[in-house]
Structure 1
């Protein structure tokens, strides 16, 4: 097992677990990934928090509601044959590092760089998420040699650059608005290494004027 990949995923899961009431919930969680959460523990929590990280975009986070479901990470059931099926469908070959990433644990959104969110890997829909995202952007990304593996903040896609047919494709982000391309990393493993080197994101209470704006006591 690639230790960088294991370290990134384990630390990413540990980070969101510390703030699960803001970062680990949704309304469509796979049955085998539902975590039995004590909703009474949120009684004294702020309804909104700010996610901050140096040199990254900020984000307003919402406290989960009693109707939301909290997820837990599980061991991966991804097989080599499933990965080959995707590769054959798109007529490409993933770097070995990304294959290892796909085969290590199921989870929803985790991150160490708050701007880069790789696609969720739930037990029931991980293939569907990967395929649908790339079909939706086929004309602007896939047909030009790029394969999306995540999002960059709210304005771009994180992609493999397969144009040079490299065994370890570089990673770029492409803006949605004007399709500008920027190199993020020389390969997938290095992208995760860069995230591991960053200071962990923090959750902070809103400033008084923001609390007033949102009607928070």
Structure 2
């Protein structure tokens, strides 16, 4: 999984799409950039997420996160990561919990997602969210991934068997459809 994530972060940098307007956390900000530029360059860095932070977040969430997803969170910090139609929730150093909390608790109405046991973690194209489906019994919180269309609030499409499988399948699809 780490090699796939690194590949897409490296591609983002190579085509200079690692820029955002506004503030960038200092650890991720390009120190050589002109401070007067509106668009700020960010660089992915090694994650500083701790087991304690994950446990605190899981406690607030009321569910354990899949081991593969916690491995993802502990790999790299980034502002943008897209693999195909999947755009992951931003994961900046120090403030990653606020970003993820906003997507889960303050994005779309809670009663359609988290209150039904679906935990959003990524956008799908411009019309939906990928979610962990905690309503399905499984081992080690290795939840299946479902797709929620914000136009059809009460339906969830089964998409991937788990997070690891999703990363592999997204990468495979991108390789097969590269021009």
Superposed pair shares fold, TM > 0.5: yes
* 1:37 Cα deviation after fit: 6.1
CA offsets per residue over residues 88-113 of structure 1, 9 Å max, x none? 11110111111101100111111221
- Determine the structure 1 residue equivalent to 2:77: 106
Structure 1 stretches (4+) deviating beyond 6 angstroms? none
* 1:73 Cα deviation after fit: 0.8
Note the 1:169-180 alignment, pairs <5 A.
169-179=143-153, 180=155
* 1:165 Cα deviation after fit: 3.2
Q: Aligned partners of 2:98 and 2:33: how far apart in 1?
A: 31
Q: Aligned partners of 2:6 and 2:51: how far apart in 1?
A: 22
Structure-2-length-normalised TM-score: 0.87
Q: Secondary structure at the match of 1:132?
A: helix
Q: Aligned partners of 1:34 and 1:143: how far apart in 2?
A: 36
**Count of equivalent residues:** 171
Question: Structure 1 stretches of 5 or more lacking a match?
Answer: 40-64, 204-217
CA offsets per residue over residues 16-41 of structure 1, 9 Å max, x none? 01111xx21112211110125678xx
Among 86, 98, 103, the residue aligned to 1:133: 103
What RMSD, in angstroms, separates the aligned Cα atoms of the two structures? 2.1
* 1:151 Cα deviation after fit: 0.4
* 1:174 Cα deviation after fit: 0.3
CA offsets per residue over residues 161-202 of structure 1, 9 Å max, x none? 010232310011101122232122000000000122133587
Highest relative contact order (Cα 8 Å, sep 6+), 1 or 2? 1
Structure-1-length-normalised TM-score: 0.73
Residue 163 (1) aligns with residue 135 (2):
yes
Q: Secondary structure at the match of 2:56?
A: helix
